[in-house]
Amino acid sequence: MERLIISGGVKLKGVVTISGAKNAILPILAACILNKSPLVLEGVPHLDDVKTIKEVLEALGAKVTWNRDLIEVDPTTICSPEVPPALMRRMRASNLVMGSLLGRYGKVKASYPGGCTIGSRPMDLHLKGFAALGARVQEKHGFIEAEAPRLKGTEIHLDFPSVGATENIMTAAVLAEGTTIIRNAAREPEIVDLQNFLNKLGARIKGAGLDTIRIDGVSSLERKISYRVIPDRIETGTFMVAAALARGEVLIKNAIPKHVEPVTAKLREAGVKIREEDDQIHVTGVERWNPLDIRTFPFPGFPTDMQPQMMVFLSLAKGTSIVTENIFENRFQHVGELRRMGAQIHVEGRSAIIKGVPSLTGTAVEATDLRAGAALVLGGLAAENTTIVEGLQHLDRGYERLEEKLRLLGADIRRQR
């Protein structure tokens, strides 16, 4: 079993370059299904989740070639509308092919992705959207089937601005007859990236980034394009917190400051010095920092995907902080592991009360999900003595060369195989 061995207490110093966004490349790769020509994606991060969506496309019949940070997809050979259950189980985001399959081929069958450790994560909003577009949706024996010769544009009001449901409805509506309006849509930067990608292919979408998205259906998409995905805002945020926690001085390149504004605002409130330039962010840590009150919300609120990393940071603040998780019902599993490192955290319902301590102590800990894993690595960087992080399969889903990037900043971190 692989593990990371971290000797904490080193001040991080230097330059780090952010990779392409996991949560942008996954829906964009899924949306390639809609096109009638091969196309190229640039800035693709080497992540296990990207490998999984590549396998999904291949299982559907597409040809996918991955070379360094370029992926070429030839969707013209797709011959099956059925997503293999094993790939649906491996990654919830495999469901992102459903809207494109339904829109392009009039049919999709996939097993239910089920719950995961951070919460139950249902699909009802996706399926209500498909049904509103005129699909016949059936759920039987853990499988979802949706069918419609051609979808028809309509108005859909999402009960919650779900990222995945917004993306699936957008892709389903691209080739639909007439206009689709999605109200209370998710406003995440990855939705804007998906819109830009689809419009470059010839789709007619407006409004992504706002709460109402308008999709005017077109008859087909067939351009040969190449498209570069946006930088990963969660990786950016994770390095910002790493720099602050390790009292370092780090220049983060290939970042979009606007995408991490909620994180920047909170770190500044804590006392961390942050300078933003066009596509880079300079972070300078301080010796001790102020406690914070953080509540996670859909974008532009504070991202749930940064909640665990921020909690480690607050474990070393000079005072008591409160973190409230509003998106997922079970996203505090890192708390037990952080407590083992000496953090003083008490959970009450959806809130965690964090009493700052002067230092954390390294020990053996286990990642239970992707961002929890990142939080434990950050804890290890700040802790006295050695931290061993297990459960790296979670980290490898979403961080490209994490330990190599941290080592370049001076961290004492290595992977033991």
Q: Can you give the binding site for ligand UD1, defined by CB under 6 A?
A: 23, 26, 92-93, 119, 121-126, 160, 162-165, 186, 190, 304-305, 327-328
- SS3 assignment for 285-323: CCCCCCCCEEEECCCCCECHHHHHHHHHHHHCCCCEEEE
The per-residue DSSP string of 36-95 comes to SS-EEEES----HHHHHHHHHHHHHT-EEEEETTEEEEEGGG----EE-HHHHHH-GGGG
CB of 129 to ligand UD1, least distance (A): 9
Paired residues of 251 in beta bridges: 15, 282
CB of 325 to ligand UD1, least distance (A): 10
Which residue of the set 40, 116, 181, 347 is catalytic?
Answer: 116
Closest residue to ligand UD1, judged by C-beta, is 164
CB of 12 to ligand UD1, least distance (A): 25
Angle at 398 between CA 171 and CA 168, to 5 degrees: 10
Of 235 and 366, CB closest to ligand UD1 = 235
Q: How far apart, in whole angstroms, are the C-alpha atoms of residue 240 and residue 70?
A: 27
Of 337 and 369, CB closest to ligand UD1 = 369
Of 15 and 210, CB closest to ligand UD1 = 210
Q: How far apart, in whole angstroms, are the C-alpha atoms of residue 239 and residue 326?
A: 23
43 φψ region: left (φ > 0), alpha (ψ -120 to 50), beta (else): left
CB of 159 to ligand UD1, least distance (A): 8
User: Quick check: is 116 catalytic?
Assistant: yes
Of 84 and 119, CB closest to ligand UD1 = 119
CB of 410 to ligand UD1, least distance (A): 29
Of 93 and 205, CB closest to ligand UD1 = 93
Q: How far apart, in whole angstroms, are the C-alpha atoms of residue 251 and residue 269?
A: 20
Of 238 and 280, CB closest to ligand UD1 = 238
Q: How far apart, in whole angstroms, are the C-alpha atoms of residue 49 and residue 292?
A: 32
CB of 194 to ligand UD1, least distance (A): 10
- Among residues 369, 343, 346, the alpha carbon closest in space to that of 357 is found at 343
Q: How far apart, in whole angstroms, are the C-alpha atoms of residue 47 and residue 137?
A: 32
Whose tokens are 């649906």? That residue is 88
Q: How far apart, in whole angstroms, are the C-alpha atoms of residue 204 and residue 174?
A: 7
Active site positions, annotated: 116
